[in-house]
Amino acid sequence: MELRKLGHEQNIEQHYTIHHNTSGSLTRHSARNGDPDTKSSHSGNHTPETGTHISRPGYDTRIETRSVDSLPPLERPLTIGGEPNPDAPHTPEPVSEPPEDRKELSPPGILSWEAIALLAPFGLLGLLARLGITAIATYGNQAVFSLAWVQAAGCFVMGIAQYQKPFIMSFYPPLYLGITTGFCGSLTTFSGWQRDVFLSWLDPQGAGLSNWQRFLDGATRLLFTQAISMASFLLGKEIGRQDLRLKLEIPKRTVRGVILMFSILAYAACFPAFFLLSPDYRGAVTAALLFSFPGVVTRHLLGTVLNHRMPSFPIGTFASNILGTAISAMSYVLQHIEPVVCHSAGVAILQGIVDGYTGCLSTVSTYAAEINVMNRHHAWRYTLVSWLTAQVILVLVIGSAKWSGAFQTSTDC
């Protein structure tokens, strides 16, 4: 009897039917071969909480009831009550390849040759704009020192570019880097600003001002430049809110190659300009053009490598500004060590380092943009540490040279 019962059990084939009852649970029913579905589904006592028990002689057919939500995702049924189950696993859609015009425009990284090369023409434009604005805004009895207009212009453009970043990046990613890091960063200068503040306190031109007047003059340059830079940046962001309804075509690979070659040739042209043009232009502009691109690249690399390490204090921008201030101070001292030979190649190179390398290495536009996104505590800390560190370096370099007596305070160069 036991052997016959065991063989009969082995011939039993299990059938499962899924029912969606009003309690939101799934019930599995088992039946023997040959039993009609209605018999296996409705025989016995049905209790949603404990399952369905179907009376069979010699068998325990108690069925487990499990909630849909308790099932693992891969075991959830595709339908419930004839309706699609939204929680059922779905076959992932095949990933389609991008069209050819998008495929060939793989966005260049910020350290790619294409992005770095574009810094050259934008850095040159920023430097020329700074020298031009300084020349225009310098005149007798001027109400505002010329460097304030430079900082305001650069921060204004930076504000517009930051708000329009998605639009610029969707067209040509290196263009955003060229505008912000290249043009705005080279147009504004932190080292020149801090040096002017210190020289106002030092009074090297012998204007005969009292200590109080010198302090007010330097404090005005310090605070007014900070204020006009932040105000110009916010004004630029406000104007940049205007929607640009332009549909620009993504540059093809050929066009991008032309841009790359133009960027390289634009900087290469600075070398013949330095040697072929009149020596009178070297100290004024051509020497600065030679050092502009190295200054921009140094600042870009420092910001890329260091800024992410401490978001509340951008170490890369801080290092660029302090390094630019130190090199600017040393170059300024070397220019004024007696005897001073005006219009010499050495003096022209030093002026090129001051205007070109340190002017493009340090920046106020990025400095203002970083302060704008900080909370009040971090913004004050970043500002005060930047001011104090720069002024301490200027005291150690220019101040020590001045007080040692080897520094010629005024020249006719």
CB-CB contact of 118 with 175 (8 Å) = yes
pLDDT at 102: 45
Gap between the Cα atoms of 172 and 260, Å rounded: 13
Amino acid at 389: T
Residue with tokens 């022209």: 348
CA angle, corner 402, sides to 401 and 406, nearest 5? 65
Tell me the whole-structure pTM to 2 decimals.
Answer: 0.72
Buried/exposed code over 216-236 (b: 16+ C-beta within 10 A; e: otherwise): ebbeebbeebbebbbebbeeb
* Across 73-77, 134-138, 216-220, 224-228, least confident range: 73-77
Please tell me the number of Cα atoms within 13 Å of 317 on its side-chain side. 24
Gap between the Cα atoms of 330 and 171, Å rounded: 42
Q: Average pLDDT for residues 151-177, to the nearest whole number?
A: 91
Amino acid at 200: S
Residue with tokens 């001292």: 333
Q: Where are the domains of the chain?
A: 2-84, 110-404
pLDDT at 345: 79
| Number of neighbours of residue 348 by Cβ within 10 angstroms | 23
| Number of neighbours of residue 372 by Cβ within 10 angstroms | 16
Gap between the Cα atoms of 188 and 365, Å rounded: 6
| Number of neighbours of residue 245 by Cβ within 10 angstroms | 5
Give residue-wise pLDDT tens across range 33-52: 444 444 444 444 444 444 44
Q: Taking 60 as the threshold, does the pLDDT of residue 314 lie above it?
A: yes
Which has more pLDDT, 208 or 401?
401
pLDDT at 108: 60
Give residue-wise pLDDT tens across range 222-236: 999 999 999 999 999
The percent of residues in the chain predicted with pLDDT above 70, rounded, is 68
